[in-house]
Amino acid sequence: MNSAFPHRQTAHCESGVIANLLTYHGLPISEAMAFGIGGGLFFGYLPFIRINGLPLTTFRTTPGSIFNRVTKRLGIGVTRKNFTNQDQAMAELDRYLAQGVPVGMQTGVYWLPYFPPALRFHFNAHNLVAYGKQGDDYLISDPVLPEPVVCAAADLVRARFAQGALAPKGKMYCITSVPKELDLAPAIRQGIREVCRFMLSVPFPLIGTRGIRYLADQLERWPARLGDKRAILYLGNLIRMQEEIGTGGGGFRFIFAAFLQEAAGVLGNSRYLQLSERMTEIGDLWREFAVAGARHCKGRSGQGEDFAELARLLRRCAEQEDLLLRELSVLVRKG
């Protein structure tokens, strides 16, 4: 076990926390591998769930699911706790830290003072690690930052008990046991099969590649149904969820592409490398959609960059992901 916590900046908080915790416990693993084994790639357009009054679009599985799947598939022992009492929550955190055990936590971004004010928003599924304490301040490894930071106890309490959607309720978790060696191959296959199942086979039109197509249809109708001003608000919210909240559409595709690249080496099959390259291109397509959408929100659209063109870009994302994931599903079934 490492004496100092191995802080590494990552693209996504939950997969970053998992990778850093496992590395601390002597099992080095990349963020991409954690994300892929945890089946992190996902899409859902859920207009009946509102965040700040606007429809929820999610590009990843539910908070906590990546951690749960990675630890289960790799045979890692964990403990998880939620609290209703703030004093008990902080006392339990202190107890683990006094034993030298780093603790993962779910928090609300808005109450973390080390984030610049412009980057604070009401999102309650942000993961970080507390790995020590100095006086009343906590030593924090927040994987989206380049260096560890310090957080006052009062601020950490507020972040752990933030109110609203996805309220963390003092959630904390830590690793209690690890196997002597990691057997990555079966865990990789399980993660891939799960992504393919959710993205291709869920019989619900708002999930997976069907959900992307559904969103494209809705986006095309927003100006007529909502009016220009509210349509722009909806579009801006979609782009923000894609690019700012947890790396979103393009970012998650890039992470999954890196996972497929690593999987090629572990599984000894270069076909995964080819699919990795194609997934990177799909990530670029999502970023193209985000840039075009942001330009439209700012009134800087180029010729043809209307809602119909944005919808066409989304449909291309859905088509390319559907083709790739169907090939990936066949490949992983072959072993």
Predicted local distance difference test score (pLDDT) of residue 247: 57
Structural element, H or E, at residue 21: helix 13-24
Q: How far is CA 212 from CA 70, 96, 98, 282, 296, in A?
A: 26, 43, 47, 13, 20
Can you give the pLDDT at residue 51? 78
Task: Please state whether beta strands 77-81 and 137-141 pair in parallel, antiparallel, or not at all (unpaired).
Answer: unpaired
Residue 1 has a pLDDT of 44
Answering whether pTM is above 0.75, one says: yes
**Smallest Cα–Cα separation from 42: which of 233, 334, 241?**
241
**Ranges of residues in the chain whose predicted pLDDT is under 50:** 1-2, 303-304
Do residues 194 and 328 touch, judged by C-beta distance below 8 A? no
Q: Is 249 helix (H, G, I), strand (E, B) or coil?
A: helix
Round to whole Å and give the CA distance between 254 and 284.
Answer: 8
- Domains of the chain and any CATH numbers: 13-177 (3.90.70.10), 184-333 (no CATH)
Encode burial over 46-70: b for 16+ CB neighbours within 10 A, e otherwise. Answer: eeeeebeebbbbbbbbebbbbbebb
Query: CB within 8 A of 271, min separation 6: which ones?
Result: 264, 331
pLDDT score, position 248: 64
d(CA 25, CA 29): 11
